[in-house]
Amino acid sequence: MKDQIDKIINEAEQFAITTIDQLESYKIRFLVKKGLVNQLFIDFKDLASEEKKILGKELNVLKSRVEELYNNAEVELRSAQSVNKKINPLPGYYSELGSRHPISAIIDEMTSIFERLGFSISTGPEIEDDWHNFSALNFPYNHPARDMQDTFFVDDEIALRTHTSSVQVRLMEEGNLPIRSIMPGRVYRNEAISARSNCFFHQVEGLYIDKGVSFSDLKQTLYNFVQEFFGTNTRVRFRASYFPFTEPSAEMDIYLGLDTESDYRLTKGTGWLEILGCGMVDPNVLENCKIDTSLYSGFAFGLGVDRMAMLKFGVKDLRTFFNGDKRFLEQFSSL
């Protein structure tokens, strides 16, 4: 038994304990009920009393030595762990994936509906000249119609575009007929900023020019869009309106109902919400762009994106889309 005691002390002293796992293995090998040390105590019971006297002491020395090695290693490992924690005071980097902005998601949804109807996508500059934003679109110089769109002028000739109709002019001037295209983009107007209006917003406008295009084509295209975007049971109505570049002109409303307080507020108590302006392109505009009006006619429409996004997502204050608050934007990360 003396030999065994020496062997175990030796082994315990050689045992490398540098991790918590190794500490656990050490405990299992030496210190648990079925471990090596306890086994010797069991064998000890069967020894002759003469031997017990000598080996009893040795056995106790063995036990306390093995325990001491265990305790020292444990203290060391635990303090190393807390040191590790201390020397790492910065929070770890955790990189977040960005996601699409809710306004972009709505623009994508709208454009994909029109793409399925055969429309292509066109874009143009946000800083625009007078001709493309106004004059070609039948807004005479110094005409009060220009006040309809509170314009940010850069100088007499240049302004931030007030609508993406400017892209329609550019497209018509290129002269590749027929044209069936939509123009998504940001536009600017000098309006007081509030929960419901901003000094910039987003539009998806559309233009269709071909031989024999009629108002019923316009209506059918917009019905189609509304059914895809808002659902097949959506009620719509057209109201006569005025735009310098279309004749006849209309605005289209969808029926929201009057179920909630916000329905009342949004629809001013009527249940109907205006979502777009539209009309047959005025022949003057076609002629300004050198399109033969004896052959071609067309329709145009312009949808406001931001209000649609407010409707779809139940957002009450337009400004929250653009103030860059991550807590707001993160709610749309699944789009």
Q: Which segment (81-89, 114-122, 228-236, 294-302) binds ligand PHE by CB under 6 A?
A: 294-302
298 binds ligand PHE (CB under 6 A): no
What are the structure tokens assigned to 122, written together? 């066109």
Residue 118 half-sphere exposure toward CB, CA atoms < 13 A: 8
Sign of the alpha-carbon torsion through 274, 275, 281, 285: positive
Q: Which segment (11-19, 111-119, 124-132, 300-308) binds ligand PHE by CB under 6 A?
A: 300-308
277 binds ligand PHE (CB under 6 A): yes
HEC states along 9-35?
HHHHHHCCCCCHHHHHHHHHHHHCCCC
Long-range contacts of 313-318 (CB under 8 A, 24+ apart): 313/102, 315/102, 316/195, 316/262, 317/195, 318/194, 318/195, 318/196, 318/197, 318/198, 318/201
Q: Which residue has the closest beta carbon to ligand PHE? A: 302
Nearer to ligand PHE, 184 or 279 (CB): 279
> Computed over its alpha carbons, how large is the radius of gyration of the chain?
40
Nearer to ligand PHE, 178 or 257 (CB): 178
Nearer to ligand PHE, 55 or 151 (CB): 151
Minimum Å distance from CB 183 to ligand PHE? 9
Nearer to ligand PHE, 12 or 281 (CB): 281
Nearer to ligand PHE, 160 or 278 (CB): 278
Look-up: residue for tokens 């003469």? 50
Q: Are 135 and 146 contacting, i.e. CB atoms less than 8 angstroms apart?
A: no
163 binds ligand PHE (CB under 6 A): yes
Q: Are 15 and 26 contacting, i.e. CB atoms less than 8 angstroms apart?
A: yes
How many residues in the shown chain lie near ligand PHE by CB under 6 A?
A: 11
- Order of strands across the sheet with 120-121? 120-121, 179-188, 200-211, 296-304, 272-281, 246-255, 236-243
Nearer to ligand PHE, 88 or 216 (CB): 216
Binding pattern for the stretch 193-212 against ligand PHE, x by CB under 6 A and - elsewhere: ------------x-------
Q: Are 147 and 191 contacting, i.e. CB atoms less than 8 angstroms apart?
A: no
Nearer to ligand PHE, 102 or 298 (CB): 298
Buried b (16+ CB within 10 A) or exposed e, 194-210: eeeebeebbbbbbbbbe
- Which residues between 238 and 267 bind ligand PHE (CB under 6 A)? 243, 246
Minimum Å distance from CB 303 to ligand PHE? 8
221 binds ligand PHE (CB under 6 A): no
315 binds ligand PHE (CB under 6 A): no
Q: Which segment (151-159, 229-237, 297-305, 321-329) binds ligand PHE by CB under 6 A?
A: 297-305
Contacting positions for ligand PHE (CB under 6 A): 163, 165, 205, 243, 246, 277-279, 300-302
